Amino acid sequence: MITIEKPSMKPCEDEATADATPHASSLIQSLRDIGYSCETALADVIDNSITAGARRIEILSQVDGGDPALAVLDDGMGMTLAELIEAMRPGSRNPLAERAGHDLGRFGLGLKSASFSQCKRLTVASRRDGVFVGATWDLDEVAATNRWEVRLHSEPGSIPWADRLGKNGTLVVWRSLDRLSGGLDNQPRKRAEYLNRAIASAERHIRLVFHRFMMEDRPGLAISLNGRDLEPIDPFGTRFPSHQEDRPDRLELGNGVVEFQCFTLPHHKSISRADWEDLGGPEGHLRTQGFYVYRGRRLIIAGSWLGLARQTELTKLCRIRVDIPNTMDADWKIDVKKASAQLPPAVRERMRLLVERLTQTSKRTYRGRGQKLVNTEYMPVWQRVQKDGAIVYSPDPTHPVFADFSARLPAELQADFASLIGLIGSTVPIAALHSDFAGCPEEIVADQADAEAIRQMAEAMVPRLVAQGTDRDRIPDILRQVEPFQSAWAVAQPLIDEIIERETGHV
């Protein structure tokens, strides 16, 4: 055992003093309730590995058996015994102390508070230049002795996964997983299922929080889960050619420089469904729009307008990357978990302007597809009209397919046909469409037209375009933008070519 020394107390000349050192058993229990989840706790441990220069980090779990365990193993610089003891000390660093730019720590509490939030026994083993050191906090022992003491290990012994430590590196092991086990210690099978779900949920969080370390460095940081390499999740979709990005912007303040860059995700129709769902995650794109705040390239806030805008369907493609240095922690009120922050007044106005510009870009990404519907060259079946401050969608009775059919009807039926077209427009299920688009727009598709309906539409539109003097080579390009031709082009193209040849009188 080694005792973590109490702070020294020096008497003052003009007043008496008393020892107010916190009771170990009480304070160390309080550290368990800062509010970590499994995913934020694991991320905090990984922060230490990255700060130590690790290039490979392994998350290891053993959920079956009587003593389940979870661990993080890295190939960083490792620690000496003195450094390990200091790392095990709660509050080992003053949050006001200057840190290196790459240091992801803050309060000197992360390793301990994150671990205690999930387990009662924390073991840290490390090697530097092949020399092994190890130490364990056991909260049951602390509760019994009320002493700030950690147990030291001179050999790996029975520490899980300690045999996988390299010449340099660190292993953090959680055992006695009372919090992480969900109170199911007496039900081993259910406990294992609960632990597996918690670890699976943490996987996406880790892929997102550390994606820039995994993507931007060459070679990138490698993180694996039980031997399976994790792929980074880039919330800005930069690997897709159809994404949009603005030039970076920066704001110089007294404690550092804040950097901004605006992104617009690709429309869901331009990427695969699997990629679209991976970008949106379990909460979907509506909930993940907004600011993505990074501290030292480590994600702190993932998707929030921070009170500067509302989450809407038309702005759900908006993302703004905000980079802050660790010198601005107090300004942004970074919490112990490094999972939340507050917008400083000095940057609020700049960010408000960015929001206004980016949301307009996102809206154009959606409305740009709608604007084609009101372009007369494309002769839309549905017209989009602004009327009394509202937007009205209705079938266009002058469209060739309607006009030609009406002309073939007896005179007494033409008025009835016009009324029928108007009835269809007045019964558009607006509420249902709004609900579906708000929840799952990528699942809404138009009904497929059959070959005869496509021929009827082409027979009405091609002669009209020819009569308007449209170049014959341009007619297929125009019609390919219009439904139902767009969705069934393989069927529509030969029909359109046949009608063009007939109407123009030459090949």
Contact 361, 289 (CB under 8 A): no
DSSP notation for 405-418: HHHHS-HHHHHHHH
Q: Which helix (H) or strand (E) holds 192?
A: helix 188-209
Question: Which domains are present in the chain?
Answer: 22-229 (3.30.565.10), 244-370 (3.30.230), 378-504 (no CATH)
Q: Which residues contact 254 (CB under 8 A, 6 or more apart)?
A: none
- Round to whole Å and give the CA distance between 227 and 175: 20
Please tell me the pTM assigned to this model: 0.69
Q: Where are the alpha helices (DSSP H) in 318-410?
A: 329-332, 345-371, 400-408
The structure tokens listed for 395 are: 């079938």
CA distances from 213 to 36, 50, 209 (A): 22, 9, 9
Q: What is the pLDDT of residues 393-450, one digit of tens each?
A: 888 877 888 878 888 888 888 888 888 888 888 888 887 777 777 666 667 777 777 8
The letter for the amino acid at 429 is P
Q: What is the pLDDT of residues 156-200, one digit of tens each?
A: 988 999 999 999 999 999 999 988 887 787 888 888 898 999 998
- Residue 219: asked if its preceding bond is cis (omega within 30°), the reply is yes
Identify the pLDDT of residue 138: 93
Q: Which helix (H) or strand (E) holds 421?
A: helix 411-426
Contact 384, 393 (CB under 8 A): yes
- Round to whole Å and give the CA distance between 377 and 477: 11
Q: Which helix (H) or strand (E) holds 131?
A: strand 131-138
The structure tokens listed for 220 are: 């990138």
List of E strands, 144-268: 149-153, 169-175, 222-225, 228-229, 244-245, 249-253, 256-264
- Round to whole Å and give the CA distance between 481 and 496: 13
Identify the pLDDT of residue 12: 52
- Round to whole Å and give the CA distance between 303 and 43: 18
CB-based burial label for 77 (10 Å; 0-12, 13-18, 19+):
middle
Identify the pLDDT of residue 93: 54
- Round to whole Å and give the CA distance between 377 and 388: 26
- Residue 232: asked if its preceding bond is cis (omega within 30°), the reply is no
CA distances from 499 to 158, 254, 506 (A): 81, 70, 11
CA distances from 150 to 43, 137, 175, 178, 483 (A): 24, 5, 15, 20, 71
- Round to whole Å and give the CA distance between 125 and 78: 9
Identify the pLDDT of residue 506: 58
Short-list 192, 215, 243, CA closest to 362: 243
CB-based burial label for 488 (10 Å; 0-12, 13-18, 19+):
middle
Identify the pLDDT of residue 378: 59
The structure tokens listed for 453 are: 């309906």
**DSSP reduced 3-state for 86:** helix
The structure tokens listed for 484 are: 């139902």
- Round to whole Å and give the CA distance between 159 and 153: 9
- Round to whole Å and give the CA distance between 416 and 411: 10
DSSP 439: H
Q: Pairing relation of β-strands 290-295 and 318-324?
A: parallel
DSSP 355: H
The structure tokens listed for 491 are: 């069927």
The structure tokens listed for 373 are: 């519907």
CA dihedral 125, 129, 130, 132 (to 10 degrees): -30
Identify the pLDDT of residue 125: 96
Short-list 87, 42, 52, CA closest to 168: 52
- Round to whole Å and give the CA distance between 371 and 362: 14
User: Could you read off the pLDDT tens digit of each residue along the chain, which spans 507 residues?
Assistant: 666 655 454 555 567 777 677 787 788 777 788 778 899 999 999 999 999 999 999 999 998 878 899 999 999 999 999 999 999 988 655 444 454 555 555 445 778 888 998 999 999 999 999 999 999 999 999 999 998 889 999 899 889 999 999 999 999 999 999 888 877 878 888 888 989 999 988 999 999 999 999 998 777 899 999 999 999 999 999 989 888 888 888 888 888 888 989 888 888 888 888 888 888 888 888 888 888 999 889 998 888 888 888 888 778 888 989 998 888 877 777 766 666 677 777 777 778 777 776 666 555 555 544 433 345 555 677 777 766 667 788 888 778 888 788 888 888 888 888 888 888 888 888 877 777 776 666 677 777 778 888 888 888 888 888 887 888 888 888 888 778 888 888 888 898 888 888 888 754
- Round to whole Å and give the CA distance between 255 and 257: 7
Q: What angle do CA 333, 336, 341 make, to 5 degrees?
A: 30
Identify the pLDDT of residue 446: 72
The structure tokens listed for 493 are: 């193209």
- Round to whole Å and give the CA distance between 385 and 398: 14
Contact 495, 458 (CB under 8 A): yes
- Round to whole Å and give the CA distance between 300 and 207: 13
Short-list 120, 232, 238, CA closest to 180: 120
